[in-house]
A and B are shown apart, each in its own frame.
Chain A
């Protein structure tokens, strides 16, 4: 139920009178998501979508920091 899927926001659709919607690319599969819960996102941002709603923006700084930590760990692990 709390499955939430990361994807890239590729287009913002502002239908009149309706909620703010976006088209999100999930590694090739494109679906519409409601952006009402994330008012400050921009095209190109990575979002996490759950049950039709974008609920979180992926922080580039934090993602890159975690990837750097993993690279460091893997390198450390390879030493004899």
Chain B
């Protein structure tokens, strides 16, 4: 029988407790004997690390490398171009998450297209887009569905409701990606310098930690499921350092209160019912085989890319902006190494997605800038 949390339990505050942070830092410092590089996968973790200054509080011998876990950042320009194209089409309304709106495609962003008369609605949930489809039956409502495994089950659920209610003016432009395929690509690259991995805690609420065993084994790296509060991050780093110092490479879980080892089976079943793995381009990185989740053939009527014709073509677009997002997303360069950082590229005038998104590494470095 599961015990109950005490009345007045605060699910956040204890995990920001300064005394616990201090104790964990001491614990890590006493365990580490040589330099290690640890990649945090999720951009939300990158932001928390910069916000709380954890990278500066940790011993110098521990380097945190920022990973590709920012769905807005990896959405290919070609998909944004198609979203822009639909938003400019009479009778259409393009809906997506707020983060996506200012990211440039190969030309326009959705925001600049709106300034030219595009129809755009920022939504908090796929269900909000579905509600717009109910309210405006004469309009084609297209939901630009971006996200990792955390977000895609909600898309699957919204689609199930659309099917059940026979809502025919609702479709999805899918740019959904999965973590393990990307992690396999990063660790398979000979130039990587990743000793250990902090897996994204909220992705693992859905997938569980089980699918990381094969990766830890194959590449001989510890993988630790890690949360987002300072204490959670340090618990994950401590587990990773303990394993590295001992020469072991297991899948650990430092976020057990939220991410179960088998994840959320109901959400995974929803994913499998609606989506199938597809090859997907990651912006700045290239095509990663099997790393995307596309709608199954039987749901083609709800797939914007099958339902509508497009002028813009899918294919690799050369990025002429000078943005080095691909290197940043693979952990090969820090934002500060980019000559455009804070100069021609700022959150108000972004050259690339990592400066726009609330999970982008460049935005984290800009927002939590330090003066030396």
Contacts and interface: CB of A to CB of B under 8 A. Distances in A.
Interface of A: 1-4, 6-8, 18-19, 27, 34, 36-39, 44, 46, 48, 50-53, 55-56, 58-67, 70, 73-74, 76-77
A53 B152 CA distance: 11
Chain B's interface size range is 35 or more
Interface in B167-214: 200, 202-203, 205-206
A61 B157 contact: no
Given A2-B71, A50-B151, 7 more contacts: A34-B157, A51-B124, A52-B124, A52-B126, A55-B205, A60-B2, A74-B17
B154 A37 contact: yes
* Closest CB pairs A-B (n = 4): A52-B125, A77-B23, A6-B11, A56-B205
25 contacts: A1-B43, A2-B69, A3-B44, A19-B127, A34-B125, A34-B127, A36-B157, A38-B266, A50-B151, A50-B154, A50-B202, A51-B154, A52-B128, A55-B153, A55-B205, A55-B267, A56-B259, A56-B264, A59-B258, A60-B5, A61-B2, A63-B5, A65-B256, A66-B257, A77-B19
Interface in B66-118: 69-72, 97, 99
Contacts of A46: 5, 9, 11
Nearest to A70: B20
A48 B24 CA distance: 25
A39 B323 CA distance: 44
Given A64-B5, A70-B17, A1 B357 contact: yes
B334 interface: no
Interface stretch (B142-150, B286-294, B362-370): B142-150
A65 B357 CA distance: 34
A32 to B, nearest CB: 10
B258 A2 contact: no
B76 to A, nearest CB: 16
A70 to B, nearest CB: 4
Interface in B1-25: 2-5, 9-12, 14, 17, 19-20, 22-24
Most interface-central of A34, A46, A53 (chain B CB within 10 A): A53
A55 B147 CA distance: 14
Contacts of B72: 1
A2 B42 contact: yes
A9 B82 CA distance: 39
A18 B158 CA distance: 11
B129 to A, nearest CB: 10
B125 to A, nearest CB: 3
A62 B17 CA distance: 18
